[in-house]
């Protein structure tokens, strides 16, 4: 038994699982909720918390939904799982399929996947194909293949994925003793904001929380279909995990926004990278650029005076910064290379 029971075990009563569902686990969930003092000082909000989802086994929140989707596929006798991915879904599907003894095929948008995510999919033995076009084109391909019975689709259009992902909202309520006043979250294919809202609604019904948070979702300016109100044919952003032009859970995201009295806005790549550097340098938490869209949104809304009544907010940091080492490397210039002497190193550190 793992020290912390598996996500399926812990939340079995609230998930679409039975006694026959395999207790698949890699130790997902139960991620840290970390107080963000530098963001509190900057925004003037009394309590800002970071839900550090990059601490999941494959480095993103995708593991919460994937463990349920792959366990259900296994229970149903599937031999193979299939997904389209901007990278993290592929990494997660590959790892859980390996664990479960299933085959895994992933279809990626060519040239748009961070190096760490691709490395994970390959290491875990997935078959990888890149298609010319954005994530949306890859998703259309795998939906069609799944309909033809090629394999079980484990994208977030699979309802088991969202069921698993909603457990993050339960955890936030368990740790804080209630839901926060607001939740800040990046929006790509919009499954996660949909899942969190479902989780918070259930948490209030179960008595885990008294209130429901306002849901603030953030897209990147170059990939903001929900903000614009129409699909984007060629989405563009440095935050590759949210480079999505036609979100599958569009309706769920709009419902979360409207039922909670929140908003879905766009932030620029400049704001995203600024927030990415800020949380790493000032909070000690290294997230990936897509995750930083939530921080960028919080900072912008606080600056504009839109958060004065809020006492406690949670930002979801969806993925680990180590997924995309090249992006981090670009934050600094050349690294000084000197003789191996104390004097030379001291001079270099001072310059
Ligand atoms: C998948 C992903 C997102 C977007 O989540 P959706 O459910 O597609 O909206 C954001 N950040 C990271 C790191 C992701 O992997």
pLDDT in tens, 24-40: 999 999 999 999 999 99
For ligand 1, the distance from its centroid to the CA atom of residue 189, given in whole angstroms, is 7
147 shares a domain with 46: no
pTM of whole model > 0.85? yes
Q: How many domains does the chain have?
A: 2
* Structure confidence at residue 7 (pLDDT): 97
Q: Which two tokens stand for residue 25?
A: 């686990």
- In this structure, what CATH number is given to the domain that contains residue 253? 3.40.50.1100
Pocket mutation for ligand 1, best pick of 318, 320, 323 (most atoms within 8 Å of C-beta): 318
Is 182 among the domain residues?
yes
* Structure confidence at residue 3 (pLDDT): 63
239 shares a domain with 193: yes
Strand partners, 51: 33, 316
120 CB near ligand 1 (under 6 Å):
no
Backbone angles phi, psi at 133, to 5 degrees: 135, 175
179 shares a domain with 326: yes
Report the C-alpha gap between 96 and 74 in whole angstroms: 11
Rounded mean pLDDT of 138-167? 95
Total residues found in the chain within this entry: 351
pLDDT tens-digit profile of 294-304? 999 999 999 99
326 shares a domain with 240: yes
Is 25 among the domain residues?
yes
pLDDT tens-digit profile of 78-119? 999 999 999 999 999 999 999 999 999 999 999 999 999 999
For ligand 1, the distance from its centroid to the CA atom of residue 342, given in whole angstroms, is 45
Strands 33-35, 47-52: pairing kind: antiparallel
* Structure confidence at residue 189 (pLDDT): 96
pLDDT band at 333 (very low <50, low <70, confident <90, very high): confident
204 shares a domain with 85: no
Report the C-alpha gap between 117 and 143 in whole angstroms: 22
Atom of ligand 1 nearest to the CA of 188: 9
Pick 308 or 345 by higher pLDDT. 345
188 CB near ligand 1 (under 6 Å):
yes
164 CB near ligand 1 (under 6 Å):
no
Rounded mean pLDDT of 212-227? 98
What residue owns the CA closest to ligand 1's atom 5? 188
267 shares a domain with 215: yes
- Write out the residue range of the structural domain in which residue 83 sits: 62-157
* Structure confidence at residue 308 (pLDDT): 87
For ligand 1, the distance from its centroid to the CA atom of residue 61, given in whole angstroms, is 8
Is 137 among the domain residues?
yes
Residue after which a domain boundary falls, among 157, 192, 214: 157
pLDDT tens-digit profile of 254-294? 999 999 999 999 999 999 999 999 999 999 999 999 999 99
Strands 127-131, 103-109: pairing kind: parallel
70 shares a domain with 49: no
168 shares a domain with 280: yes
294 CB near ligand 1 (under 6 Å):
no
> What is the secondary structure of 189-216 as a DSSP string?
SSHHHHHHHHHHHHHHHHTS-SS-PEEE
Predicted confidence (pLDDT) at residue 71 exceeds the cutoff of 90: yes
Task: Please classify residue 53 by burial: count the beta carbons closer than 10 Å to its beta carbon, then call 0-12 exposed, 13-18 middle and 19+ buried.
Answer: buried
264 CB near ligand 1 (under 6 Å):
no
Report the C-alpha gap between 201 and 344 in whole angstroms: 60
Rounded mean pLDDT of 120-131? 97
323 shares a domain with 228: yes
171 shares a domain with 27: yes
* Structure confidence at residue 44 (pLDDT): 96
């Amino acid at each position: 038994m793992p020290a912390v029971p598996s996500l399926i075990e812990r939340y079995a009563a609230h998930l679409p699982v039975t006694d026959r569902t395999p207790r698949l686990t890699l130790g997902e969930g139960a991620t840290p909720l970390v107080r963000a003092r530098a963001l509190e000082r900057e925004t003037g909000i009394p309590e800002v918390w970071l839900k550090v989802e990059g601490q999941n086994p494959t480095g993103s929140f995708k593991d919460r939904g994937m463990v349920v989707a792959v366990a259900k596929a296994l229970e149903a006798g599937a031999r193979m799982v299939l997904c389209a991915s901007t990278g993290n879904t592929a990494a997660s599907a590959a790892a859980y399929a390996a664990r479960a003894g299933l085959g895994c095929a992933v279809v990626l948008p060519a040239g748009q996947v961070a190096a760490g995510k691709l490395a994970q999919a390959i290491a875990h033995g997935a078959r990888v194909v890149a298609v010319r076009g954005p994530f949306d084109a890859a998703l259309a391909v795998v939906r069609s293949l799944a309909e033809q019975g090629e394999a079980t689709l484990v994208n977030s259009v699979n309802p088991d994925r969202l069921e698993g992902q909603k457990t993050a909202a339960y955890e936030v309520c368990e740790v804080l003793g209630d839901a926060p006043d607001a939740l800040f979250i990046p929006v790509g294919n919009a499954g996660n904001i949909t899942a969190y809202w479902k989780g918070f609604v259930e948490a209030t019904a179960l008595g885990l929380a008294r209130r429901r948070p306002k849901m603030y979702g953030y897209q990147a300016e170059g990939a903001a279909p929900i903000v614009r109100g129409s699909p984007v044919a060629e989405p563009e952003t440095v935050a590759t995990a949210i480079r999505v032009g036609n979100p599958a859970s569009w309706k769920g995201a709009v419902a979360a926004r409207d039922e909670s009295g929140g908003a879905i806005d766009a932030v620029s790549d400049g704001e995203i990278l600024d927030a990415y550097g800020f949380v790493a340098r000032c909070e000690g938490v290294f997230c990936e650029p897509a995750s930083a869209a939530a921080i960028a949104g919080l900072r912008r809304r606080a600056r504009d005076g839109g958060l004065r009544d809020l006492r406690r907010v949670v930002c979801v940091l969806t993925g680990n910064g180590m997924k995309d080492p090249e992006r981090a490397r670009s934050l600094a210039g050349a690294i000084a290379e000197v003789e191996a002497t104390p004097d030379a190193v001291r001079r270099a550190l001072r310059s």
